Amino acid sequence: QKHYLVSGELKEWKGDTTEVYSTISSTKEYKRTLLGSIPDLQESEALDALNGALKAYDKGKGVWPTMHVKERIECMEVFVKKMKTKREEVVKLLMWEIGKSLPDSQKEFDRTIDYIEDTIEDYKQLDRNAAKFTKNDGVYAHIKRGPLGIVLCLGPYNYPLNETFALLIPAIIMGNTTIFKPAKHGVLLITPLLEAFQTSFPKGVVNVIFGRGRTVAAPIMKTGKIDVLALIGNSKSANALQEQHPKSNRLRLVLGLEAKNPAIILPDADLDLTINECLAGTLSFNGQRCTALKVVYVHEEISADFNKNFAKKVDELKFGNPWEDGVKLTPLPEPDKAAYIQGLIDDALSKGAKIINKKGGKHFDNFIWPAVLYPVTKDMRVYQEEQFGPIIPIVPFTDIEEPLDDMAESNYGQQVSLFGKDVYALSPLIDTLVNLVCRVNLNSSCQRGPDVYPFTGRKDSAQATLSVHDALRSFSIRTFVAFKDN
């Protein structure tokens, strides 16, 4: 694939390209296989894309930001219709590029379509509300929401379609113009959609570029012409980009970053339910989710039972290619990830933890069997780092203040899962937990959806809120016309 989209033109790139590899292979040898390549764009192409977005926005006077809401909605409806025709192609690439299972790849595509359609409906409602006048102290106001300007949008590899579009779609529909750089893994799957972007929106509204962040995103930020940095990924990349901006105090940040969501298992928890929820919570998509449970606190009274049964269930999971029936574990898309996980295991073992599941840590190619580690202590790397992969640290506790103190000390604050039967007795604890994170999941694992619920975090976990409803607000500002009753 040699094309990128700038100012409504699908340009052919004649320079160097970067090869895109897969860790999936139909031969059952999970060696890296070449899938294709993408343009290795340079600074001048990145700045062309920025100019495309600037021209289309034209300081707020452009066709797109001034277009009637109904027409912007029509463009989005055309886009979603065209996108639906690409389902099979995109789903296949999701499996090959990032190793996501077939049901989860289909879910990612369908969830994205739902997200766009719900965004359209919510925007219609927003517009209906804006049509009403309010009156206070003799002053009438017609309050609506207006765009912010130019949005640079970068998405993550674990949801290269869904989470990227959870940024891009609300940014576009609110009247901003955008430059979008897909994630490193899960990049080819954007290419079937280039033509839909090109033909659904006026030129320059969506500009799609490829290349290294340092080479293409940093120079765009350096111009100081970006109004919103929208990124889902890690805080290191977000900070590095933010620092490039000469007037970063003017920059709006819409960021979804790291998390270390804990599960807290109380002595009266329903063990079967807890184990199943913890299994999905820790290991869906091999633990490569910001919402994954990344540390499990289990009360010492039930730790023996929990550990034994949980470890057994982990070993029963099926490994294979994403399209095979019932597969839950797949090779990891990042080539050095298995080695990183092994490093965490070695560190924990050297400090006194044990692998409590028989298959834990077993390696082949870029796959590592999830290791369940117990007892994990604070000095271990697996306790401190966001592992974002198949390794499960279990920390025993006797007093609820122990996990609460750890959460209060943590740099992260996205979600928690609390397992215990007596929900009424838990209510004071829940009142504390909501002050430490933004979502408390009772007897269920952490997750982002349903997408109408607020998705955000405290401390280093997020800036701004992403739900269908909130994202429209994150990418806009309230503006109004006022007049007096005279």
Q: Is 80 left (phi over 0), alpha (psi -120 to 50) or beta?
A: alpha
Q: Vertex 108, ends 371 and 218: CA angle to 5°? A: 85
Least Å from the CB of residue 271 to ligand G3H: 24
- For ligand G3H, the binding residue among 366, 447, 461, 467 (CB under 6 A) is 447
Least Å from the CB of residue 224 to ligand G3H: 30
Helix residue spans in 131-190 (DSSP H): 162-173
CB of 382 closer than 8 Å to CB of 347: yes
Task: For residue 200, give the nearest of 172, 162, 226 by alpha carbon.
Answer: 172
Q: Which is nearer to ligand G3H, 191 or 291 (CB)?
A: 291
Q: Tell whether the torsion through CA atoms of 64, 66, 67 and 73 is positive or negative.
A: positive
Q: Which is nearer to ligand G3H, 50 or 259 (CB)?
A: 259
Q: Which is nearer to ligand G3H, 161 or 348 (CB)?
A: 161
- For ligand G3H, the binding residue among 102, 449, 452, 459 (CB under 6 A) is 449
String marking each residue 131-170 x if it binds ligand G3H according to CB under 6 A = ---------------------------xx---x-------
Stretch binding ligand G3H (CB under 6 A), from 62-70, 174-182, 330-338, 445-453:
445-453
Q: Which is nearer to ligand G3H, 159 or 397 (CB)?
A: 159
Distance CA 79, CA 388 (A): 33
String marking each residue 313-342 x if it binds ligand G3H according to CB under 6 A = ------------------------------
Listed in sequence order, the residues at least 6 apart from 166 whose beta carbon sits closer than 8 Å to its beta carbon are 115, 232, 451, 466, 471
Helix residue spans in 299-356 (DSSP H): 300-316, 337-350
Amino acid of residue 475:
F
Q: Which is nearer to ligand G3H, 158 or 474 (CB)?
A: 158
Q: Which is nearer to ligand G3H, 23 or 261 (CB)?
A: 261
Looking from the CA of 460 toward its CB, the CA atoms found within 13 Å total: 18
Stretch binding ligand G3H (CB under 6 A), from 29-37, 53-61, 399-407, 444-452:
444-452
Listed in sequence order, the residues at least 6 apart from 197 whose beta carbon sits closer than 8 Å to its beta carbon are 5, 79, 206, 208
Dihedrals phi, psi of 207, to nearest 5 degrees:
-115, 125
Q: Which is nearer to ligand G3H, 158 or 465 (CB)?
A: 158
Stretch binding ligand G3H (CB under 6 A), from 36-44, 87-95, 246-254, 446-454:
446-454
Q: Which is nearer to ligand G3H, 220 or 292 (CB)?
A: 292
* Cα-based distances in Å from 146 to 143, 254, 475: 10, 16, 9
Task: For residue 331, give the nearest of 38, 163, 89, 97 by alpha carbon.
Answer: 97
In the bound state, the residue with its beta carbon closest to ligand G3H is 290
Amino acid of residue 347:
D
Residue 222, Cβ neighbours under 10 Å: how many? 16
Q: First and final CA of the chain: distance in angstroms?
A: 63
Task: For residue 229, give the nearest of 211, 255, 207 by alpha carbon.
Answer: 255
- For ligand G3H, the binding residue among 448, 461, 462, 469 (CB under 6 A) is 448
Least Å from the CB of residue 441 to ligand G3H: 11
Least Å from the CB of residue 340 to ligand G3H: 17
Least Å from the CB of residue 171 to ligand G3H: 17
How many residues in total does the chain contain? 486
Q: Does a cis peptide bond (omega within 30 degrees of 0) precede residue 160?
A: no
Hey, which residues between 207 and 246 contact ligand G3H (CB under 6 A)?
none
Least Å from the CB of residue 304 to ligand G3H: 30
Hey, which residues between 65 and 84 contact ligand G3H (CB under 6 A)?
none
Stretch binding ligand G3H (CB under 6 A), from 128-136, 309-317, 447-455, 457-465:
447-455
Least Å from the CB of residue 352 to ligand G3H: 31
Number of residues that bind ligand G3H (CB under 6 A): 9
Least Å from the CB of residue 285 to ligand G3H: 7
Distance CA 261, CA 257 (A): 12
Hey, which residues between 274 and 313 contact ligand G3H (CB under 6 A)?
289-291
Q: Using the rule CB under 6 A, is 387 a contact of ligand G3H?
A: no
Max CA-CA distance within the chain? Answer: 81
Q: Which is nearer to ligand G3H, 97 or 163 (CB)?
A: 163
Least Å from the CB of residue 460 to ligand G3H: 15
Q: Which is nearer to ligand G3H, 262 or 375 (CB)?
A: 262
Least Å from the CB of residue 210 to ligand G3H: 22
Dihedrals phi, psi of 86, to nearest 5 degrees:
-105, 10
Q: Which residues bind ligand G3H (CB under 6 A)?
A: 158-159, 163, 289-291, 447-449
